[in-house]
């Protein structure tokens, strides 16, 4: 499979559009707390805050990948705010203490059976472990339960493709939470331990997503 992503963040697999993991979850899973937040702030302000948060998250993810790949940081001037500095410092400390080997970062995957695609943040071997671990970085103020469905979808796609090519049939997964806001600078790895249940949750959302498209 040849997986690409266009400038609108749409995945193409062998030239055909496939839904993304985050797109499926976002389009089908209702978050009452998010809806209330948007109502309180109004659409225009909520959109502006969301765009700023997305840009901040992209910055943190990008700098984390550079550290993992042992690449020099690109000067980014005023874009490097104090919170991002604290988050990246926390990531560097966690990564250097806990990661033994990097398999890859920002890896495109697509599931050959269920026809969805996405991008993994990190595939690594943690210290003392012989099983690879999929690490999804979250840099917001909280981590939502739907992240379990997200990592389960990524894991199953990776096991069917890139990890299968490397000879692995097992994979751990979890979220590396690097919070923003008042807790900036702290870090916590949250393991996800129920792959079958969480994958079933994602596949249910995928079914609804495809059903709505017909």
Say yes or no to pLDDT of 22 above 90: yes
pLDDT score of 159: 97
Backbone φ, ψ for residue 211 (5° rounding)? -65, -40
pLDDT tens-digit readout, 134-169: 999 998 778 889 999 999 999 999 999 999 999 999
3-state secondary structure at position 137: strand
Total number of residues shown for the chain = 214
Element (H or E) spanning 176, and its range?
Answer: strand 172-177
Count structural domains, the chain.
1
CATH code, domain carrying 209: 3.40.1350.10
Average pLDDT, rounded, for the chain: 85
Q: Can you give the residue range of the structural domain that contains 13?
A: 3-213
- In the prediction, which pLDDT does 179 show? 84
Convert the pLDDT of each residue in 65-122 to its tens digit: 888 887 655 545 554 567 778 888 889 999 999 999 999 999 999 999 999 999 999 9
Cβ–Cβ under 8 Å, residues 162 and 123: yes
E strands in the chain:
3-5, 11-13, 16-18, 99-110, 117-126, 133-138, 172-177, 188-191
Record the tokens describing residue 73, joined without a space.
Answer: 């940081």
Q: What is the pLDDT of residue 59?
A: 67
State the DSSP H helix or E strand holding residue 105, giving kind and residue range, or none if neither: strand 99-110
* DSSP category for residue 184: B
């Amino acid at each position: 499979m040849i997986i690409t992503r266009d400038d609108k963040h749409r995945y193409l697999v062998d030239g055909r559009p496939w839904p993304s993991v985050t797109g499926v979850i976002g389009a089908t899973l209702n978050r009452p707390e998010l809806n209330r937040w948007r109502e309180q702030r109004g659409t225009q302000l909520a959109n502006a805050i969301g765009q700023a948060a997305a840009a901040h998250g992209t910055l943190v993810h990008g700098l984390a990948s550079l550290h993992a790949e042992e690449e020099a940081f690109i000067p980014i001037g005023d874009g490097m705010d104090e919170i991002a500095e604290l988050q990246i410092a926390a990531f560097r400390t966690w990564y250097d203490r806990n990661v033994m080997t990097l398999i890859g970062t920002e890896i495109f995957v697509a599931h050959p059976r269920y026809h969805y695609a996405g991008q993994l943040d990190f595939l690594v071997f943690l210290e003392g472990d012989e099983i690879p671990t999929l690490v999804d970085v979250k840099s917001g103020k909280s981590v939502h339960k739907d992240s379990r469905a997200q990592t389960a979808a990524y894991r199953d796609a990776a096991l069917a493709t890139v990890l299968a090519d490397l000879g692995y049939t097992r994979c751990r997964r979890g979220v590396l939470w690097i919070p923003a806001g008042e807790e900036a600078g702290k870090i916590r790895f949250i393991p996800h331990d129920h792959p079958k249940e969480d994958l079933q949750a994602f596949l249910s959302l995928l079914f609804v997503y495809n059903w709505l498209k017909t």
